[in-house]
Amino acid sequence: MQLLFVADPLESFKIYKDTTFAMMREAQRRGHTLMACEPKDLMWQRGAPVTAFVRDIRLTGEPEPWFQAGQQAPHERPVALKDVDAVLMRKDPPFDTEFFYATHLLEQAEREGARVFNKPRALRDHSEKLAVMEFQQFIAPTLVTRDGADVRRFHAEHQDIILKPLDGMGGMGIFRVGTNGLNLGSIIETLNNHGATTFMAQRYLPEIAQGDKRVLVIGGRPVPYALARIPQNGEVRGNLAAGGLGVAQPLSARDRDIAEAIGPVLAARGLLLVGLDVIGEHVTEINVTSPTCFQEITDQTGFDVAAMYLDALETAFAAA
């Protein structure tokens, strides 16, 4: 197959941990042809199909340079997305307006015959923070609002809460407010921009001390191991980007129940790869834009997550 990865600049990859790199490596091992571009390289012109200006790449197997490219800017090769076997949307968050516009271009490419994973409409429809609200049987008490009075009532009821922006990533902008309510007013003003911006509050889950688990679901089926991201040095955040320690572990019975309930629902909507964030007994986020942790799980357990993903991708391609 010809695979086009729409991703961040290749030069920015940290290949020792990058999940998109792990996908590329497994795809090349299977004999697939690799191309790469950034969202800024997508173009749609009247009377023409959605086109990407791509680099044909091959992995070298070395740390540096880790890839060879047939083209360099500004000489990338134009290719209609409908002529590619599979387009893998792997642009990291944030989900900003440019990401939003990219999903529209990719959806038009689908109408022209392209196969895009994860499905562009599903990326738009599943806000990584808000998507948990559909599955209320699996979540802790949660509030979405822009009204400070709502948050104060929520804090009065639950005493110890987490507040976070809806467009955050890597643990950025997350606050904990304990029973004394210290700085709650200032935090509300910061997150809601004086009433202009919606944000989320959740009851604090003390099980975070054992880790914020990333449970990967591929083609509706859970990977048998999760990566528990354990907060370090007094942090409340387990995100690896915030200094959390990643420890791979087998799924608990609860993890599996959650994944087997949510996974098939999301897979049916075109989400081939999903990352569920689970603290204790509860789902806190559903990651769909560019779920990670392939390499950490494989390195620690020997389970080849990238191979499972390529199996699912090849199956989806054959069924299309």
Q: What pLDDT digit, counting tens, does each position of 99-114 carry?
A: 999 999 999 999 999 9
Which residue matches tokens 């789902």?
283
Is residue 129 part of the annotated active site? The answer reads yes
d(CA 184, CA 84): 51
Catalytic-labelled residue, pool 90, 91, 119, 237: 237
Question: What is the rounded average pLDDT for all residues in the chain?
Answer: 95
Is residue 229 part of the annotated active site? The answer reads yes
Q: Could you tell me whether strands 273-279 and 212-218 are parallel, antiparallel, or unpaired per DSSP bridges?
A: antiparallel
**In this structure, are residues 140 and 205 in contact, taking their beta carbons and an 8 Å threshold?**
yes
pLDDT score recorded for residue 242: 66
pLDDT score recorded for residue 172: 84
Q: What percent of the chain has pLDDT over 70?
A: 99
The predicted-structure confidence for 220-251, as pLDDT tens digits, reads as follows 999 999 999 998 877 777 677 767 899 999 99
Say if residue 319's pLDDT is above 70: yes
Both tokens assigned to 132: 């948990």
Is residue 269 part of the annotated active site? The answer reads no
Catalytic-labelled residue, pool 128, 212, 285, 296: 285
Range in 55-69, 169-183, 288-302 the model is least confident about: 169-183
Say if residue 296's pLDDT is above 80: yes
d(CA 285, CA 22): 23
Is residue 277 part of the annotated active site? The answer reads yes
DSSP 120-134: HHHHHH--TTGGGGG
pLDDT score recorded for residue 196: 95
pLDDT score recorded for residue 168: 83
Is residue 285 part of the annotated active site? The answer reads yes
Catalytic-labelled residue, pool 129, 192, 213, 296: 129
d(CA 307, CA 149): 49
Say if residue 155's pLDDT is above 90: yes
Catalytic-labelled residue, pool 38, 255, 277, 296: 277
**Residue in 280, 207, 319, 296 with CA at minimum distance from that of residue 248:** 296
pLDDT score recorded for residue 231: 87
The predicted-structure confidence for 53-76, as pLDDT tens digits, reads as follows 999 999 999 999 999 999 999 999
Catalytic-labelled residue, pool 164, 192, 203, 255: 164
Is residue 164 part of the annotated active site? The answer reads yes
Give pTM, 2 decimals.
Answer: 0.95
pLDDT score recorded for residue 169: 79
Alpha-carbon distances, residue 197 vs 7, 41, 104, 131 (angstroms): 28, 31, 24, 18
**In this structure, are residues 306 and 293 in contact, taking their beta carbons and an 8 Å threshold?**
no
CA dihedral 264, 268, 272, 276 (to 10 degrees): -40
Q: How many helices (H) and strands (E) does the chain have?
A: 8, 18
**In this structure, are residues 186 and 200 in contact, taking their beta carbons and an 8 Å threshold?**
no
Range in 25-39, 154-168, 228-242 the model is least confident about: 228-242
pLDDT score recorded for residue 243: 78
The stretch 147-174 carries a mean pLDDT of: 93
Catalytic-labelled residue, pool 55, 119, 213, 214: 214
End-to-end CA separation in angstroms for the chain? 13
pLDDT score recorded for residue 191: 96
Catalytic-labelled residue, pool 115, 203, 213, 229: 229
The stretch 91-103 carries a mean pLDDT of: 94
Catalytic-labelled residue, pool 239, 255, 287, 296: 287
Is residue 214 part of the annotated active site? The answer reads yes
**In this structure, are residues 121 and 270 in contact, taking their beta carbons and an 8 Å threshold?**
yes
**In this structure, are residues 178 and 155 in contact, taking their beta carbons and an 8 Å threshold?**
no
Is residue 254 part of the annotated active site? The answer reads no
Helix (H, G, I), strand (E, B) or coil at 208: helix
Q: Map out the domains of the chain with their CATH numbers.
A: 2-118 (3.40.50.20), 141-204 (3.30.1490.20), 207-313 (3.30.470.20)
Both tokens assigned to 36: 């790469």
Which carries the bigger pLDDT value, residue 93 or residue 38?
A: 38
Per-residue pLDDT band for 318 (boundaries 50, 70, 90) equals confident
